[in-house]
Amino acid sequence: NAGVTQTPKFQVLKTGQSMTLQCAQDMNHNSMYWYRQDPGMGLRLIYYSASEGTTDKGEVPNGYNVSRLNKREFSLRLESAAPSQTSVYFCASSEVGEQYFGPGTRLTVT
């Protein structure tokens, strides 16, 4: 089992560019999450999906959109990147217990 995988690992964007971060899990979990990690602020929830076909906003959703493509995949899209979105992005999945995290995507917006 690969667990939770994320692509790409690193990305540099210019202000105003768009991109999609991909996440997939092979544990048959219903719930999936996107977080961002900034220095001194822990992880903050951007969006989550409690089950296939549903998505909900988390603490910091502005500037992002998500798609729960199927049970395995949950993507995060930045339509018009801003320097404030420079961060490390983590995807996670869970069933009834712990959340399992991917290795992260380090995004820099210049």
Partner 1 sequence: GDSVTQMEGPVTLSEEAFLTINCTYTATGYPSLFWYVQYPGEGLQLLLKATKADDKGSNKGFEATYRKETTSFHLEKGSVQVSDSAVYFCALRNAGSARQLTFGSGTQLTVLP
- Please say whether the beta carbons of 64 and 44 come within 8 A: no
- Looking at the DSSP assignment, which residues form a beta bridge with residue 33? 48, 92
Closer residue to partner 1, CB minimum distance, 13 or 102: 102
- Closest separation between CB of residue 4 and partner 1, Å? 7
Closer residue to partner 1, CB minimum distance, 44 or 72: 44
- Closest separation between CB of residue 42 and partner 1, Å? 4
- For 60, half-sphere exposure in the C-beta direction (CA atoms, 13 angstrom radius) is 16
- Closest separation between CB of residue 38 and partner 1, Å? 10
List of residues 6+ apart from 3 with CB closer than 8 A: 25, 26, 27, 100, 102
Residues that bind partner 1 (CB under 8 A): 4, 31, 33, 40-45, 48, 50, 56, 58, 90, 92, 94, 96, 98-99, 101-104
- Please say whether the beta carbons of 24 and 80 come within 8 A: no
Closer residue to partner 1, CB minimum distance, 17 or 52: 52
